[in-house]
Structure 1
Amino acid sequence: MRIALVVARFYEDLAERLEAGARAVLAESGITDLETFDVPGAYELPMAAKLAAESGRYAAVVCLGAVIRGETSHYDYVCGEAARGIQTVQLETGVPCSFGVLTVDTLHQALARSGGDKRDSGRHAAEAVLALLAVKQRLATAG
């Protein structure tokens, strides 16, 4: 099984932490055939996810990144469009896509949610894709 990781690199240190968490879960599940696609920011995740999903080369796409609230409404647009876009990709293609994008107010919150003391959103995004793949497989073999 081959899985695509689409990673928004705007916050490089957070992206690395999220990717490490996702890779760890997938490796624990025996999945090592991974390909990473880097994009500048979260806004670009849906398009990269769509390209990966439509290629037919991947069973699933894990989308990772971070958006930290600033002083303008830019945050709201980026978060909303990234979430909507990734959801649309999976619904239109049938290829499971997970939303491992941190949407936080501060860098401290982002660090806590990327393998810090709160949770590891990279791990959770990989776990979500695995759960969707299990449902898909179960329904495909149900008879």
Structure 2
Amino acid sequence: MSDLDLIDRKIVAELMRDATLPISQIAEKVGLSQTPCWKRIQKLEANGVLTGRVALANPSQLGLGIVVFVEIEAPNHSVEWREDFTRAVENLPEIMEAYRMAGDMDYLLRVAISSMEAFDLFYKRLTDAVPIKNVTSHFAMERIRFTTAYPIDTRNR
């Protein structure tokens, strides 16, 4: 991010807020004309700064209104177990995010499900796929804040 100038940071911030904005509006907001703005967006994509443009959906409207944070304690830390676990995570579509952690837990998963019965089936598929020492699940009661936009400094320095 340190290689990005102020205009690049502003472009990224605008696209994270709303990727459906026309180039003309993005260009106006960041102080460029359309062609240079479009070229910068293409460069940001080519350099891997922008990795995709997606539509965000309301999980409740999709019948996936239950969010569960699942802590995983690995039985060991072998390469084979990590590879098996990674494959299991990739094959369970309910897992929205997966992180290898430092501290008391080894992995943290964010899981989107429709019901307790669906979570039970998910749990069985996960634990059948790979041996796990311990699983602790935390059910979210309320989503207080959610964003996919990273906090980018768009101030001129």
Which of the two has greater strand per residue? 1
TM-score (norm 2): 0.23
Which of the two has greater helix per residue? 1
TM-score (norm 1): 0.25
